[in-house]
Structure 1
Amino acid sequence: MIVGEKMIKVNVKNLIKHFGDKKAVDGISFEVYEGEIFGLLGHNGAGKTTTLRTIAGIINDYDGKVEVNGRIGYLPEERGLYKDEKVKDVLAFFGGLAGMRKEELKNQIEYWLKKLNVYKYKNQKIKTLSKGNQQKIQFIVSVLHNPDIVILDEPFSGLDVFNINLLKKILFELKDDGKSIILSTHQLEKIEKFCYRVLILKEGKVVHYGRIDEICHKKVAYIEYVKDGKLIKQNLPYKEAISLIKNEEILKNLVKFEVRNSLEDLFLEGGSI
């Protein structure tokens, strides 16, 4: 699907997912374009991982629509490597699952091991590697088969500053190559550096979606007031909040009124990470 001049690589419409009686994702919709790094934010339990797993095809019993235009590479937050196997064998196994031909697979393993400075570990078992180097092998698994869409859930976990910068460079190279990258991380400074557009989830629902510059410059008000003996907490567009507190009863029982317009403020709404 093409909107304007942009090719939509991931199209999510009214996605709903239940786990028993709990609604983990509640009617969310968004699009990811070709050649962009798209940010997915939210507190623990907000529905991020469920959304990513649904896009990746790991979860297939849901309501709504998820359209994916291209091959997917997925780096989960929890490592899924076979720790008693050698690095080269693990990569060969996953590349084979992705349908890579033997010669192509061999060349890509060599290329990515060298690019991420872990070539010297290719004959070592995964369990002998540091946490950061295991993370790099996991990343290689997600891009080895040249996917069109790369889903990264906390990709910077365990990496030092040098390797974060290395991964940053690689992500921009993938973007420039036309890959669509969905980036989910708690490190907000990474989102602001990498992403043009973001989706912020809270309790399975979309609370903010769009360009970071528009979201952060659009004033948002946080209000707390007492009504019928209960404390009401609301995040509202600034103008709507101003109209609300003109109500004499609400103004009289107003507990807190704050104006927020930074990505960190928006993300921290509702409690700590």
Structure 2
Amino acid sequence: MATPLSADALVAALRAEGVTVVEHAGWRTHNRAGHGAWGPMNGVVIHHTVTTGTTASVSLCYNGDSELPGPLCHGVIAKDGTVYLVGNGRANHAGSGDGDVLAAVIAEKATLPAPKKNDTDGNVHFYGFECVNLGDGKDPWPAVQLEAMVRASTALCRAHGWSARSVIGHKEWTNTKIDPKGFTMGDFRSRVATRLKEKPAGSSGSSPSTPTYQPFPGAAWFKKNPKSPIVTAMGKRLVAVGCSAYTSGPGPQWTTADKASYAKWQRHLGYAGTAADGWPGATSWAALKVPFTKEI
């Protein structure tokens, strides 16, 4: 469960994961506000568009139609792997689904129950990516598109501290849909899980043996009250950017002072409420630029 990412945070998270992002005009304020809640967030739903062509697909997902007004998702993922952002906030994408599935996603269970009822509003709880494909089982999924879908899903999981089990297909949410068709969500989640173990940088090919900045250790790492040079390096950066709540230190042991200082940094970046709770996230961590240290 998490506060929805701001538009800036969403773009930053996607680009940090190596996603090519195109911002559709007006997307930052385009949503279904007033037609239901938006958040708390619990996961990501993958769809196929049943359309061809990037321009037509993006236009449809932005505008919707008379029966289902747009936005119809948050991002459209084209055949060439480009992610077109078309909505920020509540979107008409998930619709009604099974509350037992939502409970399983929240608990990050290894196995989802088969959807049998449609008693829960999924537009409240899920980000949605519409991926350009006819959905007939014959239209191919180019490798570059699937990779972008994996990276986009990973970006949101990393930003919120979720595992790959927070990513589901539309057909896993409701028994009234068949999307996405042409690959299995089990394999897709395995790819997301693998990527979550890697550094978020989005670079392909070889990388320097010693990175400039410390990769995000993961939200769960901080909640274990770690003692590490990384905590010291983080604290020094928080002091340097004017976000100190320390009375002494900082030192290697994670303390309430570290958490309070990090909350000040989150507020400095524009986060508020539970999004500024002091627990580091991938996007705010990347912005802090903590110097690299090998020891965790």
Task: State if a TM-score over 0.5 links the two structures.
Answer: no
- Calculate the TM-score normalised by the size of structure 2: 0.28
- Calculate the TM-score normalised by the size of structure 1: 0.29
For CA contacts below 8 A with separation 6 or more, give which structure has more relative contact order.
1
Structure 1 or 2, whichever has the larger Rg, is 1
